[in-house]
């Protein structure tokens, strides 16, 4: 798509984690339809590259960036204020920042890494909503979109805190949808399955883990960031004005089946016994 269709003209949008992957693809898509987009993240160079991509793929769009760690409330508040400046409103927030430091058998997980994963995903989403919701409610409109995962609804063995964190996002946003609905603010989530981004490059490159993923997808292909961006665009705009409290599961049908088997990646690291709880716990105490 070249240029703006104007469908989101006058909308102010903030995308956390907007410098790459799903966040950037979504920011581009919103900008293409006329939204004034602000992207934020922790790495300045990535945000600069993201802004260049928006300007290239959405010519004439209003776009800017700000460095902000989503677990820093003051930084998130600054990002919300900046995002509202171009239009005077903040109409869309996509809380895309997320990830995991926590992987391995449950009894070997590093406690600090487990906490960091919960904080990045759940607290990061909470702060984005906390800071943006009052402005949205005062305006009587707004769409907040969180990013969950297939791991929220289908167990992913050895994924540590990631699945619990994404499940926490979904429940928090359902709660918020009930609270904010009377003020005209909609709260939803997207839940991607396996999407071809740099974070899962080792999986999509091929091998038994990818084959297992594909065997569980009725549509039989890996997703793209653009697949998710189109769903974000739907939830952001007037087309979804009667949709709140929902999670769109974007996974090629994977939710209909079981979660993925990462044994091929993790057994060489932890051993077959380790994956079933027979290795020494992370703190070195007896089992």
pLDDT tens by residue, the chain, 287 residues: 334 456 999 999 999 999 999 999 999 999 999 999 999 999 999 999 999 999 999 999 999 999 999 999 999 999 999 999 999 999 999 999 999 999 999 999 999 999 999 999 999 999 999 999 999 999 999 999 999 999 999 999 999 999 999 999 999 999 999 999 999 999 999 999 999 998 899 999 999 999 999 999 999 999 999 999 999 999 999 999 999 999 999 999 999 999 999 999 999 999 999 999 996 555 544 33
Global confidence as pTM: 0.94
Measured CA to CA in angstroms, residue 261 lies from 113, 139, 162, 239 at distances of 22, 46, 15, 37
The answer to whether 166 and 115 have CB atoms below 8 angstroms apart is no
Q: Residue 126 has which token pair?
A: 């909470």
* Cβ–Cβ under 8 Å, residues 250 and 193: yes
DSSP classification of residue 151: G
Q: How many Cβ atoms sit within 10 Å of the Cβ of residue 260?
A: 25
Order of strands across the sheet with 92-95? 63-67, 36-41, 12-16, 92-95, 142-147, 185-192, 247-250
pLDDT of residue 103: 93
Of 163, 234, 155, 229, the residue nearest 197 (C-alpha)? 229
Q: Which CATH architecture has domain 12-275?
A: 3-Layer(aba) Sandwich (3.40)
Q: Tokens for 226, please give them.
A: 């653009």
Q: Which residues are catalytic?
A: 162
CA neighbours closer than 13 Å in the CB half-sphere of residue 177: 21
Contacts of residue 281, Cβ cutoff 8 Å, sequence gap at least 6: 107, 108, 287
- Give the containing element (helix H, strand E) for 22: helix 21-32
Domain positions in the chain are 12-275
């Amino acid at each position: 798509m070249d240029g703006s269709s104007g469908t989101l003209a006058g909308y102010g949008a903030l995308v956390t984690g907007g410098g790459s992957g799903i966040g950037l693809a979504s920011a581009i898509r919103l900008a293409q339809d006329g939204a004034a987009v602000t992207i934020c993240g922790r790495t300045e160079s990535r945000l600069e590259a993201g802004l260049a991509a928006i300007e290239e793929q959405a010519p004439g769009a209003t776009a800017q960036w700000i460095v902000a760690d989503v677990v820093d409330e003051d930084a998130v508040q600054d990002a919300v204020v900046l995002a509202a400046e171009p239009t005077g409103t903040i109409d869309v927030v996509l809380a895309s920042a997320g990830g995991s430091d926590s992987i391995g058998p449950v009894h070997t997980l590093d406690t600090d890494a487990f906490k960091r994963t919960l904080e990045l995903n759940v607290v990061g989403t909470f702060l984005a909503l906390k800071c943006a919701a009052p402005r949205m409610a005062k305006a009587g409109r707004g769409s907040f979109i969180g990013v969950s995962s297939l791991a929220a609804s289908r167990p992913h063995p050895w994924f540590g805190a990631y699945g619990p964190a994404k499940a926490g996002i979904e429940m928090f946003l359902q709660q918020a949808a009930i609270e904010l609905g009377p003020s005209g603010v909609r709260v939803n989530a997207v839940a991607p399955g396996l999407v071809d981004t740099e974070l899962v490059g080792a999986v999509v490159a091929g091998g038994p883990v990818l084959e297992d993923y594909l065997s569980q997808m009725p549509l039989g292909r890996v997703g793209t960031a653009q697949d998710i961006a189109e769903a974000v665009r739907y939830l952001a705009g007037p087309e979804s004005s009667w949709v709140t409290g929902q999670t769109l599961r974007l996974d090629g049908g994977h939710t209909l089946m079981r979660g993925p088997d990462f044994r091929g990646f993790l057994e060489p690291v932890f051993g077959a016994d380790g994956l079933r709880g027979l290795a020494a716990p992370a703190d070195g105490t007896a089992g």
